[in-house]
Amino acid sequence: MSSFKVISEKDLAVDSPVSWYLPLDTSRFSITSFRLTSFGRFITRTMVKTLEFVGIAPAGSNRVSSFLEKAAEGLVEGGRKEIFTPMYFFLVRKPLSES
């Protein structure tokens, strides 16, 4: 059995001037991130439903889109409450062999 030695660890999101979840946040409006706003997500949902209905998008595309939208909402909420970070960095190494 092998265990790793932690050399360094840090939450890289702490020093960032912009919250990591900001690109997923629907509460702000920006032309560059229109697709992530509530209205942009509504348009995306409608387009995916339409494309799936006419057979251009494969069956189940709407379910996948809904799943990803809920995941984004959960990530934003976890980021706001500071109970989740995708930027926790570990630098580890295997123990040096004794032989």
pLDDT (tens, 9 = 90+) of the chain, 99 residues, equals 568 889 999 999 888 898 888 888 877 766 777 777 778 889 999 999 999 999 999 999 999 999 998 998 899 999 999 898 999 999 999 887 765
Domain count, the chain: 1
In a domain, 12, yes or no: no
In a domain, 7, yes or no: no
In a domain, 67, yes or no: yes
In a domain, 94, yes or no: no
Q: Where are the alpha helices (DSSP H) in 13-98?
A: 38-54, 61-80
Both tokens of 3, joined, read 């265990």
Cα–Cα distance between 55 and 51 in angstroms, integer?
Answer: 6
> Do you know the residue count of the chain?
99
β-strand partners of 88: 11
In a domain, 97, yes or no: no
What is this structure's pTM? 0.72
